[in-house]
Amino acid sequence: QVQLVESGGGLVQAGGSLRLSCAASGRTFSNNAMAWFRQAPGKEREFVAAISWTGGTTYYTDSVKGRFTISRDNAKNTVYLQMNSLKPDDTAAYYCAANSKSGSGSQRKDPYDYWGQGTQVTVSS
């Protein structure tokens, strides 16, 4: 059974940092693009960051550029999201996603066919 399991969420004050991890099991995603999305209460799930299978290409939504960094360790089948200078607007459930059919990252949800259960990030002002 293929699983993506996120961890690292929590409560942090504005300006603080968190590092999310997403560990895959059941198959390797070392040749596949992976991404992070987030969903705040009452809002649609939105793209945050994506990374190509080599890690050489990354994509970010404008609101997190310069603050968040996506990375991956293919030997550990894990993708990370380092979040710095957090703001209350970053409060959301964060989801890891994998595209089993492509190594190229995308900002759209539909290419990703594996999803984790999410980890909550709450930023207090």
Joined tokens for residue 34:
């992976």
Average of per-residue pLDDT values in the chain: 96
Amino acid 40 reads A
Q: Rounded mean pLDDT of 63-88?
A: 97
CB atoms within 10 A of CB 124: 11
Percent of the chain with pLDDT over 70: 100
Total residue count of the chain as it appears in this document: 125
Joined tokens for residue 103:
């190594």
pLDDT at 103: 87
Percent of the chain with pLDDT over 90: 97
* Residue in 91, 72, 74, 92 with CA at minimum distance from that of residue 82: 72
DSSP SS3 for 73: strand
pLDDT at 64: 98
pLDDT at 10: 98
Residues 5-64: tens digit of each pLDDT: 999 999 999 999 999 999 999 999 999 999 999 999 999 999 999 999 998 999 999 999
The DSSP letter of residue 28 is: -
35 within 8 A of 49, measured Cβ to Cβ: yes
pLDDT at 55: 87
